[in-house]
Structure 1
Amino acid sequence: MTAAARRRFAFVDWTLRPDRDDDAPPTTYAFRCLTLTEDDTECAAMSPASEDPTEPQTWVFDHMREHPEHTGYAELIERPWVMWPGRPS
């Protein structure tokens, strides 16, 4: 085996963690309407995403005022995560 054919491998432990760095994207919140319509499809109306979790909750009440039969919702939380080589400190 020649020197050029030799290879070294470094094994690295990876850690997955929420990205809380200053430059990380913000965590955002939204709600989606789950109520089935007359044709058995999901309404799927969705609030705007917000960094303030109470703003999408306000949208739910507004949506239900317009559609009193729409009572099922899902909260959608988008939280950035990051992979780091090595063990956490």
Structure 2
Amino acid sequence: MSDPASRTTPRTFGFVNWTLRPDLDDDAPPTLHSFRCLTLTENDTACAAASEPSADPAEQQSWAFDHMRRNPEHTSYAEVIERPWVMWRHQGPA
């Protein structure tokens, strides 16, 4: 006699297709922009000064100009963009 606990139960699996896309829904968080200074200092360490994130990229560009006015040798920057993304489940069979 076989042990009832060792019997397998038939299972059905459903497969789903997913897509990762930028979240453009009305309730999505805003895309945020910031700049950070890449200029190396006298001791070869990065300046690392950075603007606060903002939804307005022009505001952050102004920060870069202000930073350069205070530090004329600081002329290298990186823009950091935080864009919300969402997984989108496709309807129907995979």
Other-structure match for 2:61: 57
Root-mean-square deviation over aligned CA pairs: 1.5
TM-score of the pair, normalised by structure 1:
0.89
Shift of 1:51: 0.6
1:39 aligns with 2:79: no
Unaligned segments of structure 2, at least 5 residues = 1-5
Shift of 1:7: 1.6
Q: Which amino acid aligns with 2:18?
A: W
The structure with the larger Rg is: 2
Shift of 1:25: 0.4
Other-structure match for 1:83: 87
- Percent same amino acid among aligned pairs? 66
Pairing 1:6-17 to 2, within 5 Å after superposition: 6-17=10-21
TM-score of the pair, normalised by structure 2:
0.85
Unaligned segments of structure 1, at least 5 residues = none
Distance 1:29 1:60 in 2: 12
Quick one: which of 26, 31, 39 aligns to 1:27?
31
| 3-state SS of 1:55 partner | helix
Give the length in aligned residue pairs.
Answer: 86
Other-structure match for 2:3: none
Q: Which amino acid aligns with 2:73?
A: E
Hey, which bits of structure 1, 4+ residues long, moved more than 2 A? none
Shift of 1:74: 0.1
